[in-house]
Amino acid sequence: MIPVSEPVLGPEELKYVIDCIKTNWISSAGAYINRFERLFAEFCRTKYAVATSNGTTALHLVLESYGIGAGDEVIVPTLTFIATANAVKYTGATPVFVDSETDTWNIDPAKIAGKITPRTKAIIPVHLYGHPANMDPIIELGRKRDLKVIEDAAEAHGAEYKGARVGSIGDSGCFSFYGNKIISTGEGGMVTTNDERLAEKATILRDHAMDPDKRYWHNEIGFNYRMTNIQAAIGVGQMEKIDYLIEKKIKHAELYNDLLAGVPGIVLPSQASWAKNVYWMYSVLVSEDYPLDRNGLMNHLKENGVDSRPFFYPIHQMPPYRTEEEFPVADMLSATGINLPSAASLKEEEINMICEIIRNV
Ligand SMILES: *Cc1c(COP(=O)(O)O)cnc(C)c1O
């Protein structure tokens, strides 16, 4: 089976992990954590990066650091991974959903203003599947209405909006290093920001809110959202190959685009004129003009040894968040979207084979 994704690990990661074990620095103190944070901040072109236990805790930590909680509202796209909304819920605040754009599949900026109320405290645009959200109108709204803009960049390490790296555009950015993400530390996450106060607050809350000047003294309720030195050691190894991994993904997407161009009913992914798409997941839409529906194509691929994934279900459809409100674009994208094999380790012959299968249906 050709997998949808897999981590790409090598001798560097192995060497750094062995170093952790040989030196006994296996927990959440140790030199790799600062090193990984510095490398990642440099990569995102931000002043600060704060490593966390995973991407969901990165989001929750940022929201808590901004003091968002019960009675507040946070605007999120309905078409995203569930963690974006759950992190809002964990604070006691309410996620307010917005429909998607047809082309970039991201939150539709034109539909945000109508959702802002006096209780709104933040907007979380998500850079879905590697394509950056349209940030200028969102930043503008944030400024005008005094809202924090938190980028959920869990799927878009290295993507760019008008030349700026995701994670450096809003007030803060959140990344994931889960096994299927662009780089992986097994489990792991990162907060990026240029805001010194946010970085300090997040660093304290991440470590049980322990007073940095008074050990075992806690002025508020914090969390244990620390990353381990072993995870960070893998992260340092991954940072040595992140540019290569992203280049590979873009190359693969270009080949897919060439081979699938003109196939009736297959809608190729877009790249807006202002965007650098890093194609975390190479994805297409299966429209009515294709002989099979999306699930039919997934089954057909599976029978031919090719794994794939359906798009996320829009969050407004699922029991914890169900609403009567309609989100037609997200519903359409979710029903027709498919993630094809996208691992950086994928071979050109494999892409040829996959496209051959799709073309010959
Ligand atoms: C993966 C992901 C997360 C959560 O990251 P974890 O590390 O799995 O907790 C959050 N948001 C989006 C959009 C994601 O894809």
Atom of ligand 1 nearest to the CA of 59: 10
Atom of ligand 1 nearest to the CA of 155: 15
84 CA distance to ligand 1 centroid (A)? Answer: 7
Closest C-alpha to ligand 1, atom 14: 154
193 CA distance to ligand 1 centroid (A)? Answer: 18
The percent of residues in the chain predicted with pLDDT above 90, rounded, is 100
d(CA 69, CA 51): 22
pTM of the model: 0.98
**Confidence bin at 320 (pLDDT 50/70/90):** very high
Atom of ligand 1 nearest to the CA of 87: 10
Closest C-alpha to ligand 1, atom 2: 154
Q: Are 69 and 179 in contact (CB under 8 A)?
A: no
Residue 262 CB coordination number (10 Å): 9
- Looking at the chain, the number of H-run helices and the number of E-run strands are 11, 14
Counting beta carbons within 10 angstroms of the beta carbon of residue 67, is it exposed (0 to 12), middle (13 to 18) or buried (19 or more)? exposed
Pocket of ligand 1 (CB under 6 A): 54-56, 80-81, 83-84, 126, 152, 154-155, 176, 178, 189
Lookup: tokens for 293: 């529906």
Atom of ligand 1 nearest to the CA of 83: 10
Closest C-alpha to ligand 1, atom 6: 55
154 CA distance to ligand 1 centroid (A)? Answer: 5
Give the pLDDT of residue 118: 98
Give the pLDDT of residue 87: 98
Give the pLDDT of residue 132: 98
Give the pLDDT of residue 228: 98
**Confidence bin at 90 (pLDDT 50/70/90):** very high
Lookup: tokens for 267: 């809608």
Backbone angles phi, psi at 195, to 5 degrees: -95, 110
Lookup: tokens for 30: 């140790």
**For the residues 41-45, what does the mean pLDDT come to?**
98
**Confidence bin at 297 (pLDDT 50/70/90):** very high
Give the pLDDT of residue 344: 97
**For the residues 288-307, what does the mean pLDDT come to?**
98
Closest C-alpha to ligand 1, atom 10: 83
Atom of ligand 1 nearest to the CA of 187: 7
Give residue-wise pLDDT tens across range 104-136.
Answer: 999 999 999 999 999 999 999 999 999 999 999
Give the pLDDT of residue 323: 94
Give the pLDDT of residue 181: 98
Reference 160, options 138, 190, 130, 137; nearest CA is 130
Counting beta carbons within 10 angstroms of the beta carbon of residue 34, is it exposed (0 to 12), middle (13 to 18) or buried (19 or more)? middle
130 CA distance to ligand 1 centroid (A)? Answer: 12
129 CA distance to ligand 1 centroid (A)? Answer: 11
- The end-to-end CA distance of the chain, in Å, is 19
65 CA distance to ligand 1 centroid (A)? Answer: 19
83 CA distance to ligand 1 centroid (A)? Answer: 6
Reference 132, options 203, 77, 91; nearest CA is 77
Give the pLDDT of residue 199: 98
**Confidence bin at 298 (pLDDT 50/70/90):** very high
- Sign of the C-alpha dihedral, residues 149, 152, 157, 160? negative
Testing ligand 1's pocket by substitution, the residue of 81, 89, 152, 227 carrying the most ligand atoms inside 8 A of its CB is: 81
